[in-house]
Structure 1
Amino acid sequence: MTATTDSPTFVGRATEIETLAAIAAGRCPQRVGLVRGEPGIGKTELLARIGARGRTVRVAGSEAEAHLPFAVLADVVLPLRSSLAALPEVQREALEVSVALRAGRAGGSLAVCAAALGLLEAAGEAEPLLVVVDDLQWVDTPSEEVLLFVARRLRCARVALVLATRDRGRTVPGARVVDLDGLGADESRLLLGPLAERLPPVALDRLVEDLAGHPLALVENARHSTGARRAPRPGPALEALWTSALEGLPDEARVAVAAVAAAGSADADVVDRVLADLGVSARDQQLAERAGLLRADGARRALRHPLLRPVVLGADPAVTRRAHTALAARTTGARRAWHLAATVDGTDDAVAAQLAAAACSATELGGHRSAGEAWARAAQLTTERRHRAERFLAAAREFLLAGALDLAAGHAEAAAALAGDVRFAARVEVVRSRATAWLGDPRRAYVDLVRAADDVAPVDPGTAGALLAEATMPAGMAGRVHAMLDLARRATALAPASAGPARVCALVLAGQTAPALALLDGLEEGPPRDLQTAAQLAQVAVHTERYEDADRRVGALLTTGRRHGVAAVLAYAHAIRAELDSWRGRWPAARADAVEARQWAEELGEAGTAALATLILARLDAATGAVEAARESTRRVLAAVGSHGIDCLQTYAPAVEGLAALVAGETDVAVEHLEQAHRRARADGLEAGNVVPYVPDLVEALVRSGREERAREVLAWWETGAVLTFPAATAHRCRGFLADDPDEAGACFSRAREVHARCDQPFERARTLLAEAECLRRLRRPTAARSAARDAHAVFVALGAGPWADRAEAELAAAGVSSPRRAPAAAAWAALTPQEFQVARVVAEGRSNDEAAAALFVSRKTVENHLTRVYRKLGLRSRSELVRRFPVGTGGAARLS
């Protein structure tokens, strides 16, 4: 730990240095380190001692520049510019625009994130690379998002990333954490060096004892105090020491310190010109340095410690305004706007206009959170009430795009408090309620939307209708299907042109399939009015078995999410496609998409989408025999969403638990869970069998547990809404399962197979064949039973549905037929990791490696590495062979011929 020029260079921290050096040198499994410690504990000095094998890029967050989008990222990128040419053009353009190396509009924050990761990996190929980021707590939010994206995905052995923060509770997934505590007593004495000689022994002992090895407190107390009083740690008392030192300086020396504090990481020549403009001499700067307030930092001076900044800028408001005014005169754009804003007490419309322009520029760069911060400060500086409200609403929209849901809701509240009319309040409510719903309170969201609709209806019925249509989504998340229907009906009466999608969704969930399909067919073709509506319609297409339409809609959603870098859209779109492919028997693809959806959702803090993706994975686990994994996932989901009000999952989770128990042969347990799902669905008004497909499982479990009367009761209810393939076919299957007459059973299963032929649902079709085999063998029709069992067995094996294949095999054995288990064609594809499968999929679609990297927000090197593993695992020799053999066929089997 460095003290002063009179004291030892560094003491202690041997273990911490070795840990970080191992990360930097590639000797540690983790590629990312996170140093945590309170202010002044020695993080910066520790980082300065990390040894690296090759090139090191050192940057730091600055409190003065935390509002400037991509400021820290630019400091990382500029030293590595020579490696930019290795990036795919789409990623290179996005990155260069974000850090102002070229003009243009950013291609989306995710493209910037992927480009930054690719740049570090490309630079590491040329020479091992260490990136050190100090003061993470002050890194501008867009840069922080990029750094955390890189930290989560960094796998290259030649690149290491070390972050430091004063937040002791901060975590970074996958990072090796190094917590800094105080120095020992001997180390503390050694740190003070010659400073200790100025203090009486008793005073020195008191310092060491009172300060518990805190380096900054030790040095500052030794420098500024005689030791007559008990020594203060960082906080008000230590700030008083600095304030006293500041007050002891001449006026112009204090101005010099204020200018340096306000300048942040501005270029040295800018700071020099500002100091000259302020009339600050070299002697004034030297006085500040001798007082322990400034230090030399290369060609410029900097504050001796970042903790000094608030002390200096809060000491004399007049001096601080003078410094910011001088800096504004020497800077442009967002920097100028923020310096001017720091000079204003109250309102200033001219400065507010400059901040609004800075917000627009940040949006073009893809720095939505920085844009939100600029809009919010512009609102505070705005005089006219309505104009201020509009700027708070603009801030809320930007925070919503940034995924900062709490800030979006808070600034929407500020806008709502200033709303002068109900029309503006309605616009605010859409933003606030979306943030509220995804924060985990969908019930409040739809109640607030309904209230806003009631308020605006007398003057603007169309807007009221749009609000009611908007309210159907959070109502559905809250499991209130009855409310959805009522909202959709009222919305249609007020705004029939815009309420169509909401009404379709409500009708589908309520099981009113025929009118829903008629309405869906009547909707005008063309892009939906927003991404939320587009996602709803894609999910409706899945639930109504319009799989080609669903594929098209999900593809459009993914394209939009990738183009604009909207992670929330990607998360939900991947979840929808996972659900679609699980129905179609493309289970490796479904699993890959569900993992992708969960990862994006967890990074955004979107509990609902993360839970949905987890339950899709749990259902796949149950179907393939991983019963305990399925159960653990459902319990984790229920624990996670129980306090969020996302009640729609309270039906899905016990349905998956029931399937897992059925697979395990625990029929009584299965009945318990599936009856729970049934009660919840009926109470909520969820009558759509394709949304939570639990009823056939419940009927089977009831029959196997000897409760045939209850099974017939549930089946009779199920048959009333059996319009689509899944409910209709499974209703016939259940009738056949309950039949005691072989002719009646055969007729039921025959009708079930005919209905199954209408839609590609291989798992359910195979379950029907298995039920037919079991039933007909029981009713002494062995020939028909053998044929059904053989067909079922082939599909289950192809799907990798092990427990079901075992049951089909048992049926064949009982009929005297041997059926050696063969390795499923899909098993090779199932052996790929989710990301390997995603890479294989986009390459099989005809994309180049650069295009695949851009589509998946990874580096080109990552694509190449994954492709190598895909080829090895699948025994492929070329790209064309991958395209030819990628699994797209029917029946769940991979096309490996």
Structure 2
Amino acid sequence: MHSISEIVSAAAQRPAGLLLEGEAGIGKTTLWLAALQHARDSGFTVMSARAWEAESKLAYGTVADLLTDIDTDALASLPQVQRVAVNRVLMRDDAGGPETDQHVVAAAMLSVIETMAVDNPVVIAVDDLQWLDACSRDVLAFVARRLRGRVALVVTERADPEQPSTTSWLHLARPDALTRVRVSPMTLGGLHELISSRIGRSLPRPTIMRIADVSGGNPFYALEMARAIDTEPDLPRTLAELVQRRITDLDDDANDALLAAASVADPTVELLAAATGNDPDRMTELLEEVESRGIIEITGNRVHFTHQLLARGVYFGASAPRRRRMHRALAEAVVQPELKARHLALASSRSDPEILRSLDDAAEAARARGAPSAAAELLDLAIKLGGDSPSRRIRSGSHHFRAGDHDKAHEVLAPALEVVRPGMLRAIALGLLAGIYIYRRSFADAADVLTEALANSEDNPAVLAQTLLTLSFAQANQGQYEQALVSAQNAVNHAEILGIDMLTSQALADLEVLKALSGNGFDEDSLNRALAMEDPDADVPIPFRAHSTAAQVLAWAGRLDEARGHMAVLRQRCVERGADGDMLFVCVWSTLIHVWRGDYAAAAGAADDAIQHAEQIGGDHSLVIALTVRGLAAAYTGQVDAARADATAAIEAAERFSAPLLAEWPIMTLGFVSVSLGDYEQALKDLEPLTSDFDRLPCTEIIKAGFVPDAVEALVALGRTAEAEPMIATLERNGRRLDRSWMLAIAARCRALVAAAAGDVAAAEKSALQALAEHDRLAMPFERARTQLVLGQLQRRRRQKQSATETFTEALQTFERLGSPLWANRARAEIERTNVAPGRSAELTPGEQRVAELASSGMTNRDIAAALFISAKTVEANMTQIYRKLGIRSRAELGRRMGPRT
């Protein structure tokens, strides 16, 4: 009880959990019930359910129990898609509505819990987690990870010391929030007290010792043995023997009633009567006799065993033919397709067309209820009972895939692909296989499979269009943008002919993002059509959603507020549907948009959310993109070690599964950090994988060419301006062609650096001012401030000290407001260099200024002479004058005085 009190007290402040584990009959349920009562006495709202072995295959059985008694007002406030999902779980008439699955159900349950916890703390209590159905397990896992308010999770698990735990999936947000308590066997004194209180008299110590020895301290066994002590000379030594002794003198009708009750999840008097051929009154009479023996309890019309071990003993104590006969009778008595099919399946040991049809119908009903794992399990059962066919395997694989079990999907699908003939069914199977490959990030394998699928889908335009759409995605993720563009355009053509709005929206969205990635920009009218035709309730992969495309291409075009609005739409949908994978996408792109907007606090928050979702999803790919954006956010806020660690880890992970495209942004982060520190040689080493392939870059949108300003600055600083020229020219050309303010602003700033390096300060200043004019169209304050650093340097070289100081000061204020300390330090250094102490003449000639800048970058006298086309002696003479004017004696002091160069 001490642990129970601690958990209840902790949950009044923050999420806490208690897992009671131990062998069957050890007393877990008793403690669980005590915990629930303690919580009620402490003012908690209790949501409870007891999972039963008989319902471990019934989709959402435990979740339905948890939600049954919830106030209808709490459910009415849910978003529509969540209300539909809950109605389907509770088997209410949902009058149609959007598709749902366990993710939507989980999001609905989490919403309900959070709403209730505002008024009173909440306890979510589940007894016997090992019997949870797959859908309920997924829902509970989702909810547990996301609990944030005043909520306690109190659960039990039957644990076998020789078997691994079945609850490895159960985690709260804080690892230390879940307390595991092993329920131990009772002591001799404890057993004596239990038995005395339950049977109303005290047994002799030798008898108690015998019971303790045989039961091993298990209170359930001990109590059952004590009850039999008056009539049995020997104590029962097994569960089956114990149960048989309890029911041996019951008549056949009573035994049949008990077997029927042990064979269903939620037995009622009426159901048991129908299954055994009795009327309800006769069944009540039979059950009351059994209840008097402490085997069952009757509450209203519902029947429950006093302990699951008794139910298990009754069921497995019956012969196999008798169990099959009972399941056949129950199949006639139940109404729900899923239950009817399961009972029919358990009633047969061979293939039966009626049973296979029932399983198919039940699988479709489970799918419609949003229970893909249950649908897959029903089809797998049909396959095992002799109904093995390619069509059934393809449907089962599809359900497994949707339920998130991609390995099982592949296992089920593979035999079908060996025998399915060419045609539409094979195209569908290949499309599913491609989806599995894409999930595994095997894009080349996916493209090969989809190419074969195209040849098999020519007679079905809808399948053909969807196949082309998926193929374009696989090609794009290999960097084959031109091929992807062709596939996407063909998908649009077929979708337009079909006139299916949802498919056309997806195809148009895919086409527009690929146009941009291919260097062709995007068509705003086409994008708006995709948005208008998008079905917000359709379960569409997020890369193909029109709002997803709009957020990306508008962000690249510098329209960041619009992009953020589209991302908010996607986020809301993900929250309502509990879509973890989609939420990772949203967090990643939100981070990029926040960074570009200069909102680094929001970027850091979104990046942290991305890491959390990546950890929940698992897999290298998820972690790579989450580490990438977290490293980027850290880089802009001056967290050098953290940024480099995340970027390096992301690059290494991308290399492990041969995904070079995923390494591009972490490489850019490393280069940006080095430039931020003024380490230009290291910056070029960092960026070499990107700069060496610049001529093969498909486009210069910021998503692909974000490294260019850092590469150009480093190249100019090291006197390698000729290498920078192609990058600048490409940005200028594409910027004018596409009217991209980012490209034009960055190109003009880079052009200013090159002109300044050549000594044409007037031309350089003109380019810098042109860059600032482009920045006026671009809500990227960091980039504007960075351009101001260049302009201020040029103003200082033209002896416009007042203007230079004002320009540097404005840049400093921006960097400080954004929270970018490395760049704020650079701005301060420029201000100090401009405002020298009174009485000291630090005015360098343009030639001296250029020599000083190159020397401070680390170049030798010989390198400076070569870069400026002067002799080494002239460089030495300039250095002497520079040292005298600045009052310094070494290059180290010169580096500090000159500060990092831009």
Which structure 2 residues correspond to residues 380-459 of structure 1 after superposition, within 5 A? Answer: 383=387, 388-413=389-414, 416-417=417-418, 419-453=420-454, 455-456=455-456
CA contact under 8 A between 1:393 and 1:428: conserved in structure 2? yes
Residue 76 of structure 1 corresponds to which residue in structure 2?
66
Displacement of 1:471: 2.5
**Which deviates the most, 184-193 or 529-538?**
184-193
Once the two structures are superposed, residues 281-308 of structure 1 have per-residue CA deviations (whole angstroms, 9 ceiling, x without a partner) of: 9889989998x9x555866342844597
Which structure 2 residues correspond to residues 299-338 of structure 1 after superposition, within 5 A? Answer: 300-302=303-305, 304-305=307-308, 309=312, 312-313=315-316, 316-333=319-336, 334-338=338-342
Displacement of 1:623: 0.8
AA of the residue aligned to 2:533: P
Of residues 78, 90, 101 in structure 2, which corresponds to 1:99?
90
Which structure 2 residues correspond to residues 732-747 of structure 1 after superposition, within 5 A? Answer: 732-738=748-754, 739-740=756-757, 741=759, 742-747=761-766
**C-alpha distance in structure 2 between counterparts of 1:684 and 1:443, whole Å:** 20
AA of the residue aligned to 2:374: S
Once the two structures are superposed, residues 515-570 of structure 1 have per-residue CA deviations (whole angstroms, 9 ceiling, x without a partner) of: 76699789878536954422663334434556577457546545655666645444
**C-alpha distance 749-680 of structure 1, shift in aligned 2 (>3 A):** same
**C-alpha distance 778-353 of structure 1, shift in aligned 2 (>3 A):** farther
CA contact under 8 A between 1:255 and 1:280: conserved in structure 2? no
Displacement of 1:481: 0.8
AA of the residue aligned to 1:104: A
**C-alpha distance in structure 1 between counterparts of 2:557 and 2:460, whole Å:** 34
1:472 aligns with 2:494: no
Residue 503 of structure 2 corresponds to which residue in structure 1?
none
Displacement of 1:168: 5.4
SS at match of 1:265: coil
**C-alpha distance 603-784 of structure 1, shift in aligned 2 (>3 A):** same
Displacement of 1:375: 4.9
**C-alpha distance 239-728 of structure 1, shift in aligned 2 (>3 A):** farther
Displacement of 1:172: 0.9
Once the two structures are superposed, residues 464-483 of structure 1 have per-residue CA deviations (whole angstroms, 9 ceiling, x without a partner) of: 67535412323444xx213x
**C-alpha distance 31-461 of structure 1, shift in aligned 2 (>3 A):** closer
**Which deviates the most, 109-118 or 616-625?**
109-118
1:35 aligns with 2:41: no
**Which deviates the most, 637-646 or 733-742?**
637-646
1:132 aligns with 2:143: no
Residue 886 of structure 2 corresponds to which residue in structure 1?
none
SS at match of 1:178: strand
**C-alpha distance in structure 1 between counterparts of 2:717 and 2:245, whole Å:** 84
**C-alpha distance 289-391 of structure 1, shift in aligned 2 (>3 A):** farther
AA of the residue aligned to 1:32: A
CA contact under 8 A between 1:661 and 1:667: conserved in structure 2? yes
**C-alpha distance in structure 1 between counterparts of 2:826 and 2:346, whole Å:** 73
1:59 aligns with 2:46: no
Displacement of 1:160: 2.0
AA of the residue aligned to 2:321: A
Displacement of 1:442: 3.7
**C-alpha distance in structure 1 between counterparts of 2:464 and 2:32, whole Å:** 57
Displacement of 1:318: 1.6
1:655 aligns with 2:663: no
Residue 593 of structure 2 corresponds to which residue in structure 1?
580
CA contact under 8 A between 2:428 and 2:453: conserved in structure 1? no
Residue 787 of structure 2 corresponds to which residue in structure 1?
768
AA of the residue aligned to 2:629: I
AA of the residue aligned to 1:747: K
Residue 895 of structure 1 corresponds to which residue in structure 2?
none
Of residues 781, 805, 810 in structure 1, which corresponds to 2:829?
810
SS at match of 1:162: strand
Residue 519 of structure 2 corresponds to which residue in structure 1?
513
Residue 825 of structure 1 corresponds to which residue in structure 2?
none
CA contact under 8 A between 2:591 and 2:604: conserved in structure 1? yes
**Which deviates the most, 429-438 or 716-725?**
716-725
**C-alpha distance in structure 2 between counterparts of 1:671 and 1:468, whole Å:** 39
TM-score, scaled relative to structure 2 = 0.72
Displacement of 1:18: 1.8
* Larger gyration radius, structure 1 or structure 2: 2
SS at match of 1:59: strand
Displacement of 1:679: 5.5
Residue 621 of structure 1 corresponds to which residue in structure 2?
634
**C-alpha distance in structure 2 between counterparts of 1:457 and 1:79, whole Å:** 49
Of residues 612, 615, 618 in structure 1, which corresponds to 2:625?
612
SS at match of 1:690: helix
**C-alpha distance in structure 2 between counterparts of 1:524 and 1:114, whole Å:** 27
Residue 169 of structure 1 corresponds to which residue in structure 2?
168
Displacement of 1:19: 2.0
CA contact under 8 A between 1:261 and 1:303: conserved in structure 2? no
Once the two structures are superposed, residues 823-861 of structure 1 have per-residue CA deviations (whole angstroms, 9 ceiling, x without a partner) of: xxxxxxxxxxxxxxxxxxxxxxxxxxxxxxxxxxxxxxx
**C-alpha distance in structure 2 between counterparts of 1:417 and 1:247, whole Å:** 53
CA contact under 8 A between 2:597 and 2:780: conserved in structure 1? yes
Displacement of 1:76: 1.8
Residue 796 of structure 1 corresponds to which residue in structure 2?
815
Q: Percent identity?
A: 24
Which structure 2 residues correspond to residues 349-360 of structure 1 after superposition, within 5 A? Answer: 349-360=353-364
Q: Give the RMSD, CA atoms, in angstroms.
A: 4.9
Which structure 2 residues correspond to residues 129-528 of structure 1 after superposition, within 5 A? Answer: 129-157=122-150, 159-165=151-157, 166=159, 167=166, 169-174=168-173, 176-181=177-182, 183=184, 186=187, 190=191, 197=206, 252=252, 255=256, 258-267=259-268, 269-271=270-272, 273-275=274-276, 277=278, 296=297, 300-302=303-305, 304-305=307-308, 309=312, 312-313=315-316, 316-333=319-336, 334-377=338-381, 383=387, 388-413=389-414, 416-417=417-418, 419-453=420-454, 455-456=455-456, 467-477=467-477, 480-482=478-480, 484-489=481-486, 496-497=493-494, 505-506=513-514, 508-509=516-517, 512-514=518-520, 526-527=532-533
Residue 7 of structure 1 corresponds to which residue in structure 2?
none
CA contact under 8 A between 1:84 and 1:92: conserved in structure 2? no
CA contact under 8 A between 1:224 and 1:241: conserved in structure 2? no
CA contact under 8 A between 2:12 and 2:121: conserved in structure 1? no
Residue 745 of structure 2 corresponds to which residue in structure 1?
729
CA contact under 8 A between 1:66 and 1:138: conserved in structure 2? yes
Residue 841 of structure 2 corresponds to which residue in structure 1?
none
AA of the residue aligned to 2:48: R
SS at match of 1:345: coil
Displacement of 1:690: 2.6
SS at match of 1:752: helix
**Which deviates the most, 544-553 or 435-444?**
544-553
CA contact under 8 A between 1:468 and 1:488: conserved in structure 2? no
**C-alpha distance 160-127 of structure 1, shift in aligned 2 (>3 A):** same
**C-alpha distance in structure 2 between counterparts of 1:78 and 1:758, whole Å:** 55
